[in-house]
A = this chain, B = another copy of it.
Amino acid sequence: MNDSKKVNVGIVGASGYGGIQLVRILLDHPHVHIAYLGGDSSAGKPFCDLYPHLTNLVNLTVEAIDLEEIARRCEVVFLSLPNGLAHKMAPLLLEKGVQVLDLSADYRFWDLNTYIQWYQDEREDHQVAESAVYGLPELYRDKIKSSNLIGCPGCYPTASLLAIAPLLKQGLVDPGALIIDAKSGTSGGGRHAKVPFLLAEADNSLGAYGVGKHRHTPEIEQICTDLAKSEVKVQFTPHLIPMVRGILSTVYANLSDPGLVTEDLLTIYSAFYRSSPFVKILSNGLYPQTKWALSTNLCYIGLEVNPRTGHIIVLSAIDNLIKGQAGQAVQCLNIMRGWDETTGLPQLAFYP
């Protein structure tokens, strides 16, 4: 594709970890051109002032956020902002014909009351919100194809839902007893200076937070309910791990059919994800290491049936900033534009 045919994209909120991932991925993407980087606090600064490793490598400047100007220059915009801001921008952008992929929580909920309750915000964009599609391609590929507004999933929901989906979709487990014990690297906290995320505090240690109250809970429940076709509640417990990137989600469920063994479930999972190039089902006896997924858009899944207790345990690993954030957004864009789903997305980690 020659340059004149590339799609012009913009990134609003470029200074954070979501922004830098988008820049990094899109620079390698053969069909897009980064036409705009926006951010209020860093407006006017060369992007490499924020990320000095880009010096002499990336020549972009952050601009003030001006929706009219963005719409003039971009066909597609990624919004990578704190929760509660995208819903003030997306309606105008859409009206001007721009496709919007939002990385915040603003467009993830089918029932805005859930958003309003868990995020303690107000909303006036009900109609626009109704048009949004939940951007998890492995589950909603067809809807994404024809959408102009994507609410990209949270990092924990991505890892957790990919682990759970075949179980609920196929009715293999008791939907009332789902437990998700999730573990994340500290980059999930963003590029914000907060004491608990200092290396001196977070290294050599781990702990849970937001037990039973984390705002990714209703997001997971919404999709689980859709998959199970009956209301699902989950016990979701996030933990902070002393590492930069990566999420491991350990899911516990009670198998409905006690006769199923690990090998059966692996077969079911492999079939379920046959057309999903980024999901890798591991062989019997293998469980994923988060490191395997680093800097890729992959999700590795391993599982085990415990015949002693009747549990199935599913383990899924992703890079929280790629498949859990920026990479998945680009995967959605690929689908929206009719490009191969894997275009421009990293598919193999450097190890170790």
- A17-B352, A205-B243, A205-B289 given; name 13 further pairs at CB < 8 Å: A53-B351, A54-B348, A56-B281, A177-B177, A181-B250, A198-B198, A204-B291, A206-B241, A206-B248, A208-B250, A208-B302, A211-B313, A235-B313
A160 to chain B minimum Cβ distance, whole angstroms, is: 14
The docked-state distance in angstroms from the alpha carbon of A26 to that of B24 is 21
| Contact indicator per residue, chain A 40-57, by CB within 8 Å of chain B (1) or not (0) | 000000000001111111
Assuming the contacts A24-B351, A351-B24, A352-B245, asked whether A200 and B185 have C-beta atoms less than 8 A apart, the reply is yes
B residues near A204, Cβ cutoff 8 Å: 203-204, 243-246, 290-291, 294
**Known contacts A206-B290, A287-B207: does B193 contact A195 (CB below 8 Å)?**
yes
Interface residues of A in 270-312 (CB under 8 A from B): 280-283, 286-295, 300, 302, 304-306, 308-309, 311
Check A143 for interface membership: any CB of B closer than 8 A. Answer: no
Binary interface profile of A, 236-250, with partner B (CB < 8 Å = 1, else 0)?
010101111110101
Known: A203-B203, A206-B289, A248-B207. A347 touches B57 (CB 8 A): yes
A36 within 8 A of B: no
Let me know if B179 and A24 touch, CB within 8 A: no
Query: How many whole Å from A73's CB to the nearest CB in chain B?
Result: 24
Q: Does the CB pair B183–A239 fall under 8 Å?
A: yes
Complexed CA–CA distance, A233 and B309 (Å): 7
Total A residues in contact with B, Cβ cutoff 8 Å: 89
Q: Who on chain B is nearest to A182 by CB?
A: B181
The yes or no answer to A60 lying at the interface (CB within 8 A) is no
Contacts of A53 in B (CB 8 A): 289, 291-293, 300, 349, 351
Complex contact A306–B183 (CB within 8 A): no
Q: Which residues of B contact A195 (CB under 8 A)?
A: 191, 193
Return the chain B residue nearest A186 by Cβ: B199
Say how far A18's CB is from chain B's closest CB, in angstroms: 12
Q: How many copies does the complex hold?
A: 4
CB distance B207 to A308 under 8 Å? Answer: no
Query: Within 8 Å CB of A352, what residues of B?
Result: 17, 187, 191, 200-201, 244-245
Contact of A179 among B185, B252, B350 (CB under 8 A): B252
Residues in B whose Cβ lies below 8 Å from that of A302: 208
How far does the Cβ of A186 sit from chain B's closest Cβ, in whole Å? 4
- A194: interface (CB < 8 Å): yes
Smallest CB–CB gap between A81 and chain B, Å? 18
A315 interface residue (CB < 8 Å to B):
yes
Which 3 pairs between the two chains have the least Cβ-Cβ distance?
A205-B291, A53-B292, A212-B306
Most chain B CB atoms below 10 A, which of A185, A199, A306? A199
Task: Select from chain B the residue with minimum beta-carbon distance to A178.
Answer: B309
Can you list 14 pairs linking A and B with CB atoms under 8 Å apart?
A: A17-B352, A53-B349, A57-B348, A187-B352, A198-B199, A204-B291, A207-B315, A211-B287, A211-B306, A212-B305, A233-B309, A234-B309, A237-B313, A295-B350
**B contact residues around A235 at 8 Å (CB):** 252, 306, 309, 311, 313
